[in-house]
Chain A
Amino acid sequence: MKKFINNVDDFLKESLNGFGKAHSDIIKVNFEPNFISRKTKTKEGKVSLISGGGSGHEPMHGGFVGHGMLDAACPGFVFSAPTPDQMQAAAEHVDSGAGVLFIVKNYSGDIMNFQMGAEMYSGKNDSIITNDDVAVEDSTFTTGRRGVAATVLVEKIVGSLAENGGSLEECKKLGEKVNKNSGTMGVAFTSCTVPAAGKPTFDIGNDEMEFGVGIHGEPGRKREKIQPSKTIVNNMLEAILDDLKPQKNEKTLLFINGMGGTPLTELYLVYDDACEILKSKGIEITRSLVGNYCTSLEMQGASITLLKCDEEILKNWDAPVHTAAMRWGM
């Protein structure tokens, strides 16, 4: 394992320390229990948005704390859900009386810990669960689909509504709409190494890729030989379009997300391929996001998220945001 580490046990703490120092103009890192909050207090009447999950997906979620997005983020150990006391402490810290909306990715550990945190928090609260990953079949009898990169879009769009006075109910409703309107498919070329494990999570051949990979390096739909980008992108989009079934000329946001180890040069190449394929299918791309937003440590690979946009979604996407990882309009 080659990583910037002093001591494996201090990995998270030291990284959070650095994050706090680097972005002290926007956020504050609180320890024991760990959570990242905005530097300023939540204004009265504004619904607070709290997300969280295992670490290793940076900038998600800490990098999305700030104006127009989250009020707090609870980081767990690398790839392990955070604990209920973190969510409780974060909620008590940020809630200004308008209530708390927890944004949770659909993974069993996250669901259980956020549920317990919500039960322990005495204030008004509700939750939305993201499950945009089309690689996994959805079913009410199972854990269902994973919550992955579209969580970023949910946090941005709902964050804007909350900033502009949306109620807890309205924020939840919009978040659920964004989640329902988006589909994500991921591909990995290499594995990632969890610091505590010290070795790669899975073995993968030099000429292989994992199609439908999750954000922890957990396996996806199938293992395949690597192919030209156009073919890979086409297969990814087909899986998404099969699920989303957009109308002809429907407006969409195209989000190419890096897994951490793939350079931006390649992500833009993927964007180009995706644009061409979507154009040929008569799907209009009206907004774009390209970069490393929902990562899996140093994994090479990318995910594509397509979001069907209506006016409400577009308006809230365009609204000003100022966080460590996303900033525009202010």
Chain B
Amino acid sequence: MSVNFLISQAKNIQIVIDENAAEIEALDQNIGDGDHIFNVQRGLKLVVELEKDIKNLTLQKGLNMIAMKVLSGIGGSSGALFGTFFMSMAKTPDLDGNIDFNKACEMVITGINAMKERGKADVGEKTMMDVLIPVSEKLNELKSGNTDMNEGLSEIIKIAEDRMLATKDMLATKGRASFLGERAKGHIDPGARSSQLIIDTICKSLLNK
């Protein structure tokens, strides 16, 4: 992992999110207030625009710049959560050397743990954490095991999709949709969908290498 890797991933993700923007917006209008997709799009645009400022920085400095940009430029729950994600990733020890797959796993796990802490949400509450926590758990398994990386990435793609779809039948207990009670059932959580698309994009780009 490097700053250039992060920027190129942000560009890939931007394309996929834009392609699926109408769907995510519709999901949010069903059970939220419709701001999620605009926040995600604004955040991706800001990160992509950072390229010239951060491309020569160390990974830690680059991540911190991304974190501050995301934190101050997005707003809403997404801004706080993704800002926390990048800020915590930057705090992973030993980021100076080469970042191999295991180290990258460790960084993402650290980031997702911090999001869980900030949002005080766990699996089963119909939020983006329903996708992110199981992905983080799988990364932890991959990091310490002997699974082939490609096989692991394919499994993560599957986990993210299954968990995203599983939010459909959940009652929401956290976030904007929690105010709906039973009426939130039958709708996929927009945050879970955008998170799944992000994970799907990153994993697929690594598989195609």
B32 part of interface (Cβ distance < 8 Å): yes
Given contacts A85-B71, A197-B38, is CB(A137)–CB(B77) below 8 Å? no
Q: Mark B66-93, 1 if CB is under 8 A from A, else 0.
A: 0010011111111111011000000000
Q: In whole angstroms, how far apart are the Cα atoms of A136 and B25 in the complex?
A: 24
Whether a CB of chain A sits under 8 angstroms from the CB of B179 is yes
Contact: B76 with A109, CB < 8 Å?
A: yes
Given the known interface contacts A112-B81, A202-B29, the answer about A80 and B76 at a Cβ–Cβ threshold of 8 Å is: yes
Residues of B within 8 A of A113 (CB): 75-76, 79-80
Instruction: Give the interface size class of chain A.
Output: 35 or more
User: Which one, A82, A86, A107, contacts B176 given CB within 8 A?
Assistant: A107
Flag if A218 contacts B72 (CB, 8 Å): no
* Bound CA span A197–B178, Å: 22
Determine the interface band of chain B, counting residues with CB < 8 A from chain A. Answer: 20 to 34
Q: Which residues of A contact B29 (CB under 8 A)?
A: 201-202
A90 to B: closest C-beta gap in Å: 13
CA distance A99 to B187 in the complex (A): 44
Per-residue interface assignment for chain B, residues 177 to 209, with 1 indicating a CB less than 8 Å from any chain A CB and 0 otherwise: 011110100000000000000000000000000
B34 interface residue per 8 A CB criterion: yes
CB distance from B76 to the nearest CB of A (A): 4
B75 to chain A: which residues have CB within 8 Å?
54, 76-77, 80-83, 109, 113
Q: Say whether A214 faces chain B, with CB atoms less than 8 Å apart.
A: yes
| In contact, A194 and B35 (Cβ under 8 angstroms) | yes
Q: How far is the CA of A71 from the CA of B160 in the complex (A)?
A: 45
On whether A79 and B119 interact (CB within 8 A), knowing A143-B178, A197-B38, the answer reads no
CB distance B118 to A112 under 8 Å? Answer: yes
Q: Do A116 and B33 touch (CB < 8 A)?
A: no
Quick one: closest A residue to B177, CB to CB? A218
Residue of B75, B79, B175, B180 contacting most chain A CB atoms (<10 Å):
B75
Report the separation of the CA atoms of residues A271 and B175 in the bound assembly, to the nearest whole angstrom: 33
Alpha-carbon distance A54/B36, docked complex (angstroms): 13
Residues in A with CB closer than 8 Å to B39 are 80
Flag whether A97 is at the interface (Cβ < 8 A).
no
In the assembled complex, A217 has its CB within 8 A of some CB on chain B: yes
- With A108-B175, A218-B179, A219-B183 given, is the CB distance from A197 to B25 under 8 Å? yes
Q: Say if the beta carbon of A4 comes within 8 Å of chain B.
A: no
Q: A108-B175, A112-B81, A141-B173 are in contact. Are A81 and B76 (CB under 8 A)?
A: yes
- The interface residues of chain B lying within 8 Å CB-to-CB of A196 are 35, 38
Near A by CB (< 8 A), chain B positions 148-184 give 173-176, 178-181, 183
State in angstroms the CA–CA spacing of A107 and B76 once bound together.
9
Assess the B176–A76 pair: CB atoms within 8 A: no
Q: Which residues of B contact A217 (CB under 8 A)?
A: 33
Kindly state the separation between the CA atoms of A115 and B180 in the bound complex, as whole angstroms. Answer: 25
Name the B residues within 8 Å of A141 (CB-CB).
173
Known contacts A107-B176, A146-B179, A201 near B33 by CB under 8 Å: yes
Q: Which residues of A contact B183 (CB under 8 A)?
A: 219
List the A residue with the shortest CB-CB distance to B25: A197
A residues lining the B interface (CB < 8 Å)? 33, 54, 76-86, 107-109, 112-113, 115-116, 133, 135-137, 139, 141-144, 146, 194, 196-197, 201-202, 214, 216-220
Known pairs A83-B79, A201-B29, A219-B179; list 15 more (Cβ under 8 Å): A33-B72, A54-B75, A80-B74, A80-B76, A81-B80, A83-B73, A83-B75, A84-B71, A108-B77, A108-B175, A113-B80, A146-B179, A196-B38, A197-B34, A216-B35
The 7 tightest CB contacts between A and B, nearest first, are: A112-B80, A216-B33, A80-B76, A109-B77, A80-B75, A142-B173, A109-B76
- 13 of the cross-chain contacts (CB-CB < 8 Å) are A79-B34, A84-B80, A108-B176, A109-B176, A112-B119, A113-B76, A116-B118, A136-B179, A139-B173, A143-B175, A201-B33, A214-B33, A219-B179
Question: Measuring CB to CB, which residues of chain B are less than 8 angstroms from any residue of chain A?
Answer: 25, 29, 31-35, 38-39, 68, 71-81, 83-84, 118-119, 173-176, 178-181, 183
